[in-house]
Structure 1
Amino acid sequence: MQIAFFAEQDRLALSSWFTSQADVTQWAGPGVAWPLEESFLATLLDSASQQPARLLTFAGKQAGELAAVAQTGFDWNNHLACLCRVVVNPAMRGQNLAEHMLRQLIATAFQQEGIERIELRVYTFNQAAIRTYEKLGFVREGVQRQGVAVGEARWDCALYGMLRQEYVQPEAARRA
């Protein structure tokens, strides 16, 4: 998978992956509307200009097609990074694309001097994502019960973290 910053040409494909407000909330949180608004999509395009990095949006491509999107946020004052808004093209799910992309984003985050922790939040019903995060070495630290309202439903949200000293760099990357 080729990974680069999210670009203008990725906007239409990403927008087509969601069919409901619940889909968008699962990906982007309760503050993002469905259908995706142009003003929101524009916020995904400024990664290359951020100094220092605050919230970078990455696009993973497989055979030239948008396969996954994920963001890495940085809190430099607290020495942490946050993986967020991870989504895989619905037509490409089940191929470990999120794992591949996230391995690269985790390595990149820990290459930043001063980043001592990476964290993420995931809705507890999203078992596929949870399996991926745990496989990557994230540790479940707690659950915010009924923290998000989606229509009449309330969703629980789990917090996962990985400390620098827990990070195990893949063998291939160590040899490179």
Structure 2
Amino acid sequence: MQIDFFHAADQSELRGWFSSQQAVTQWAGPGVAWPLTEEFMRTLLDADKQQPARLLTFATRCEGQLAAVAQLSFDWENHLACLCRVAVNPALRGKGLAGQLLDVMIHTAFNNPAIERLELVVYPHNLAAVRTYEKLGFVREGVRRACVAVGDARWDSAFYGLLRAEFTARSAA
């Protein structure tokens, strides 16, 4: 598995992973429309041009095929980073690719001494994602009930956090 930044050449393959507004909402949140627009896709690029970094989009590749994508955003004023928009190629799910990518991203965040907290938001019905985050050491901190409208449904959002001290203790064990 190769981990790199997301590239313009990856856009078409990523678009093919989503077949509905519900699938895009589960990945990117309620503010992103399906089908994915050119404007949105541009927000996934230019990681290497940001100084300091605000939003980095990582990608993994297996045998040349786009395997997983995830973003890491930074709030430098509050010394925190956020994992977001984690997606795995539907043809490659169930192989632990998200966990491997997220482990690298967690280390990337905490390798910067300014970052004291890493957080994320997940829909609790996404059990595979919840299991992955908890396995990586994230602690569930709360739930906003029925906070996202998806068609006629209302989804809860669960909030998870990982503190530098927890990461350090887990890494030492």
Q: TM-score, normalised by structure 1?
A: 0.95
My pick for the range that moved more, 161-170 or 133-142, is 161-170
Q: CA RMSD in A?
A: 1.0
Map 1:27-106 → 2, pairs under 5 A: 27-106=27-106
Determine the C-alpha separation between the residues in 2 that align with 1:43 and 1:170: 36
Task: Please state how far the C-alpha of 1:128 moved relative to its aligned partner.
Answer: 0.4
The secondary structure found in structure 1 opposite 2:106 is: helix
What stretches of structure 2 of length at least 5 have no aligned partner? none
- AA matched with 2:80: L
Structure 1 residues 65-120: Cα deviation after superposition (integer angstroms, max 9, x where no partner): 10000000000000000000000000000000000000000001000121000000
- Kept after mapping to 2: 8 A contact 1:26/1:123: yes
1:92 and 1:170 map into 2 onto residues whose CA distance is: 31
Determine the structure 2 residue equivalent to 1:11: 11
Offset of residue 169 of structure 1: 2.7
The aligned amino acid for 1:73 is: S
Distance 1:49 1:23 in 2: 30
- CA distance in 2 between counterparts of 1:87 and 1:17 reads 9
**Could you list the runs of 5+ residues in structure 1 that have no partner in the other structure?**
172-176
> 1:7-60: per-residue Cα shift (whole Å, max 9, x none)?
011000000000000000000001110000011101111111100010111111
Aligned partner letter, 1:82: C
Q: Which residue of 2 is the match for residue 143 of structure 1?
A: 143
Q: Which residue of 2 aligns with 1:174?
A: none
Counterpart for residue 155 of structure 2: 155
Matching residue's letter, 1:152: D
- Aligned AA (1:144): R
Aligned counterparts of 2:95 and 2:50: Cα–Cα separation in 1: 32
Q: CA deviation at 1:136?
A: 0.3
CA distance in 1, matches of 2:124, 2:134: 13
Output the CA distance in 2 between the equivalents of 1:63 and 1:112: 30
Q: Which residue of 2 aligns with 1:110?
A: 110
Partner of residue 169, structure 1: 171
Q: Is the 8 A contact 1:107 1:169 kept in 2?
A: no
Corresponding residue number in structure 2 for 1:119:
119
Count of residues in correspondence between the two structures: 171
**Secondary structure, counterpart of 2:145 in structure 1:** strand
The letter for the 2-side match of 1:121 is: V
TM-score (norm. length: structure 2) = 0.97
